[in-house]
Amino acid sequence: MQQANPVFSVVIPARNMERFIEETFQSLVGQTFADFEVLCIDDGSSDGTRGIIEEFAGRDPRFIPVVGPAKGVSAARNLGLSLARGVYVLFLDADDLLHSDGLLFYKDALEGSDAIGALAGVQRINVDGEHLRGADNRSLVPDGEQLPALLKKNFVVNGGALALRTEVARLSGGYDEDLTAGEDWEFWCRVLLHGQFSVIRGPALLYYRQVANGANFKTRSSLFVQQVPCVKKIAVNPEMQKEFGARLRFLLRARHIDAFWSGVRNQYLYGRKPVALFEGLCGVIMYPDSLFRPKLIWRFVRSLDRRV
């Protein structure tokens, strides 16, 4: 029997994830804090994903199979958000893993706090689950106002690293279903209009799988476009304009530059080094102000080494 009011709702959208989703589910089964529900959104899979979801649901009533609209990850997440009964919601990808104490850390960070969400560290892993090198995302979170920093740089990285109060996620309007890339960053920016995140110290809680054909790589638009849809959404958002005024343009310029160099890095990491070199040379011409941002240069150089 399903618990009446679980503390956590974990929303997992999945399309053709039979290779990874069972391991993701097992990372939830092994949680030391067990008061949760898992809303498993099968978003139009043509492989064995739905069968794995239904198998887990048959063994553990906390796993709830949901047939998604097959309209993309944002629509699937919004469906899960609409069904969530938990006080807190966590959007976990179907190929990522959660530390066994993950939900416990999130709960402890949010209970008795006025934070609207709790942000954890991210450990990148490869397709085989081996740890990859990478900087600690939490080092980018300022002690003061967090929204300006997030507008310039995505320090959340992935939804599984951020547990939100469900009511705040809904109040923020959920995910923009018109976006196919950067939809999570755009959502988190709107969420931060309502408060601050608590930052959880200690071990990384999310194991974020880096897949060369993943959505983060495939759906990235051309690096040379002048308008990135997710950035433009923030630029025309009335609440953002009211909050930052003319400063918003400069914050989003920094975000555009960061997105460009992240794209160059991905080309390099996924074996397209000649393309990365060409785009990097173009980037120096397109964004000459990049050369006056030593922290950006240092992060970019370090991110090129993701060896196990």
Bigger pLDDT: 265 vs 90: 90
Please tell me whether residue 25 adopts helix, strand or coil conformation: helix
Bigger pLDDT: 274 vs 10: 10
How far is 38 from 159, CA to CA, in rounded Å? Answer: 15
How far is 237 from 221, CA to CA, in rounded Å? Answer: 21
Predicted local distance difference test score (pLDDT) of residue 224? 54
- The string of pLDDT tens digits covering residues 206-256 is 999 988 655 444 434 455 555 689 999 999 999 999 999 999 999 999 998
Give the Cβ contact number of residue 52 at 10 Å: 23
Predicted local distance difference test score (pLDDT) of residue 139? 95
Predicted local distance difference test score (pLDDT) of residue 35? 98
Please name the residues in contact with 273: beta carbons below 8 A apart, sequence gap of 6 or more.
267
Predicted local distance difference test score (pLDDT) of residue 216? 46
Does 137 have pLDDT greater than 90? yes
pLDDT level of residue 132 (50, 70, 90 thresholds): very high
- The string of pLDDT tens digits covering residues 245-298 is 999 999 999 998 888 887 888 788 777 888 888 888 888 888 888 877 787 777
pLDDT level of residue 65 (50, 70, 90 thresholds): very high
Give the Cβ contact number of residue 131 at 10 Å: 13
- Helix ranges restricted to H, the chain: 21-29, 49-59, 73-83, 102-110, 147-152, 166-171, 183-191, 215-218, 229-235, 238-244, 247-269, 273-286, 294-303
Does 134 have pLDDT greater than 90? no
Buried b (16+ CB within 10 A) or exposed e, 169-206: beebebbbbebbbbbbbbbbbbbbbbebbbbbeeebbb
For the entire predicted model, the pTM comes to 0.91
Predicted local distance difference test score (pLDDT) of residue 297? 76
Does 1 have pLDDT greater than 80? no
Predicted local distance difference test score (pLDDT) of residue 213? 55
Interval 67-94 mean pLDDT? 97
| Lowest mean per-residue pLDDT among 23-32, 79-88, 298-307 | 298-307
- Return the percentage of the chain with pLDDT > 70, whole number: 93
Q: Taking CA 271 as the corner, what is the angle to CA 269 and CA 275, rounded to the nearest 5 degrees? A: 95
Bigger pLDDT: 126 vs 289: 126
Strand 88-91 to 162-165 pairing: antiparallel
Predicted local distance difference test score (pLDDT) of residue 177? 97
Strand 97-98 to 206-209 pairing: antiparallel
Interval 133-161 mean pLDDT? 96
Predicted local distance difference test score (pLDDT) of residue 223? 53
Strand 8-14 to 88-91 pairing: parallel
Predicted local distance difference test score (pLDDT) of residue 219? 38
Of 58, 107, 102, 76, residue with least CA distance to 11: 76
